[in-house]
Structure 1
Amino acid sequence: KDIVTRTTIMGSDMAYYEITPHTHRHYAVCTKCGAMIPLHTCPVVEMPQELTDVDFTVTEHHLEIAGICKDCKNR
């Protein structure tokens, strides 16, 4: 019924579950502790020209940003 959205982390068995938001969401993931920081805007604002040139229709996309969170940096 699309009430809950499951987000998986690339290269991991870890998943994050949340009530399905009205728009899709991306996350920054800490590579040390696994913390997931939600991004409230989509960095993919417009499709690359290469896709437009070949008349490719995007139906979904996935973006994962990896790094180290503030808590892990301060440890």
Structure 2
Amino acid sequence: MSFAWKAAGITYNRYLAIAARVVRRSLKEGPRLQAERRGEMDLRFAKWQNGKQGENKNLGDANASAMAEHAAETK
């Protein structure tokens, strides 16, 4: 038995994010605004080298810049 999200080629976490976004958008105006605020995330990460933590970076910003760098390299 195959799951639809696997057949679509996405991860389970991405599937859940899409489903949550659809549910939030289907709500009436008041509850929708509250649900959208709860759905916002700010993920951060830091690289560790030689036992020391590097600078904390926003995951979304880091992904966007990495994708832009990759796109520039492939041209």
Shorter-chain TM-score bucket reads under 0.3
TM-score, scaled relative to structure 1: 0.19
More helix as a share of residues: 2
User: Looking at both structures, which has the greater relative contact order when contacts are Cα pairs under 8 Å and sequence separation is at least 6?
Assistant: 1
The structure that has the greater radius of gyration is 2
TM-score, scaled relative to structure 2: 0.19
